Amino acid sequence: FHLDHAASLPYFLEKTTFKGRVFMTHATKAIYKLLLSDYVKVSKVSVEDMLFDEQDIIRSMDKIEVIDFHQTQEVNDIRFWCYTAGHVLGAAMFMVDIAGVRVLYTGDYSREEDRHLRAAETPQFSPDVCIIESTYGVQLHQPRAVREKRFTDVVHSVVSQGGRVLIPAFALGRAQELLLILDEYWAAHPDLHNIPIYYASPLAKRCMTVYQTYINAMNDRIRNQFEGSNPFDFKHILPLKSIENFEDDGPSVVMASPGGLQSGLSRQLFDIWCHDKKNACVIPGYAVEGTLAKTIMNEPKEVTLMNGLQAPLNMQVHYISFSAHADFSQTSAFLNELRPPNIILVHGEANEMGRLKQKLLSQFADQNMRVLTPKNCQTVEMHFNAEKTAKAIGRLAEKTPEEGNRVSGLLVRKGFTYQIMAPEDLHVFTQLSTGTVTQRLSIPYKGAFSVLKNRLQQLYEGVEISNDEVPTLKVHSKVTVKQEGTDYVVLQWVSDPISDMVSDSIIVMMMGFNPESPRARTPDSDSKESEVEKDSSKIFQSLFASLFGDVKEEEGKLIISVDGIVATVDHVKNTVACENENLKERIKTTLQRMQNAIKPISSQ
């Protein structure tokens, strides 16, 4: 829910054309609205320059869906689920499965359990790609016990000598961890009970109800403690609304936001306290380049106050990292367990990221791992050769075929899976249903039906005679030929590749001898032979065009063009010329079938 991850979401959902779905864990969604609403209120950007407003945040909430840890979701056949990431309440690592290729995106994560959060989980299988944060690069954190002792020792020492301790921290995340440490330490040291601890963040106070609600998302320590009392109901910590409500009349500890000391209450208190050597500023986490928090870590002699004046920096500055980001030891151990073949480093400073890349390549030199460090907006392309298998289901799966047997069925693709099924099972295993197209064609014909029957029997072996009310023939049990009138016959068939071919050949045959067709006129003399040849050529050209598209006639030959490949057909000599053997064989086979359909028919 931190701003560097979630702050663009209202703009993305409300100001762009994005129409996809958005998923968050329950705790993240609860804090998201509070955090973004506070950001809009305290932002110093003019209304005209703001990327989104409160209404955009409210509308975005309606589009965000929640997901539980380890709950598998599927969107457009892409499966994903999430693991605990540590870091902050609700943080999650997402595993995304696309056609069997798994990608793990860690986001911000921590492998170290602290006082209220579990450590990041280790997925039960290795991903093909791991997109992992590199915030701390090759740096190493101190052990938690050492950090906590340093922190409490500094605080105790300063307040015991009458000083003030400023802890600039982001309102949510590490702040709750530090408050738990301070409240527990104060409870164990009665001599400190007269020294107040203030938590200066109205936002954090509102979000504390979320922390109290999602106790079950925390570690066993907090859950066990909750059985007796709410660990976030602090006994020694008071809220501080503003500097006007603060009585600075003695030693105290104040945790205030923002963590970078850019503005706000933390900066106001810093400007007041920085000149006194009895006071201390504890930087508890990662400091961004360019912020005052980063500057004072180098202990300059002077600092620039908010009013523009220079002031001496006499207060103590301690950097004690409680940042819940993985350090090098956590990152390398995590990757050593997963052994992903592809690693993409993100969320880090370029130089630190480069050092981490080199160290990982050195550590896993024998693993053949790829480590990439893309810049912002740089595209990374990876190619995976996933096996594609089709599963036979339904009637096709009732009997195991023997080796060499041919299995015929419909290949159905759903997302990234394939199934083979009988056409009759299509409506059972899919939301589709099979249908048929019945073709009916009337052809002018004034000849004797018996002549037509004889011609069909010459051409086809399977011609059946039906005793219907009108003369009827059944060709290959597929095409029905009826003489429904004195001057025409009707062809009817259920459309499929074979039936369509049979019906086409019958039509061509009838056009060849039908008295009503100009192509069927018997030449009276040698002078009309060329005209008959032209008619025959047009028939071939028409049939080839229906199959191959672009067909032209040049000097009595047909020129067929398919995807830039040219073939020349001489239907008189029954020859095909083409440099592409596959296309040549296809055309030769087609030509032979046409010849078989037309040649047996006499023109006399």
Sign of CA dihedral 513, 519, 522, 526: negative
Q: 325 an active-site residue?
A: yes
The angle, 0 to 180 degrees and rounded to 10, between the axes of the packed helices 26-42 and 54-63 is 170
Euclidean distance between CA atoms 98 and 93, whole angstroms: 16
Distance from C-alpha of 370 to C-alpha of 530, rounded to nearest angstrom:
73
| Residue 598 buriedness (CB in 10 A; 0-12 / 13-18 / 19+) | buried
List the catalytic residue out of 325, 427, 476, 571. Answer: 325
Closest C-alpha among 329, 137, 349, 155 to residue 237? 155
Strands (E), 385-447: 390-392, 410-414, 417-421, 438-444
Classify 204 as helix, strand or coil. Answer: helix
Token duo for residue 96 = 């995304």
The number of helix segments (H) and strand segments (E) in the chain equals 17, 29
Cα(535)–Cα(542) distance, integer angstroms: 11
The number of angstroms, rounded, from the C-alpha of 330 to the middle of its chain's C-alpha atoms is: 27
Identity of the residue numbered 527: S
| 549 within 8 A of 567, measured Cβ to Cβ | no
Cross-sheet strand order for the sheet of 101-105: 73-75, 78-84, 92-98, 101-105, 129-133, 342-346, 370-372
Given a contact cutoff of 8 angstroms between Cβ atoms, the answer to whether 465 and 490 are in contact is no
Give yes or no for a contact between 264 and 258, defined as CB atoms under 8 angstroms apart.
yes
**Which residues are the active-site residues?**
325
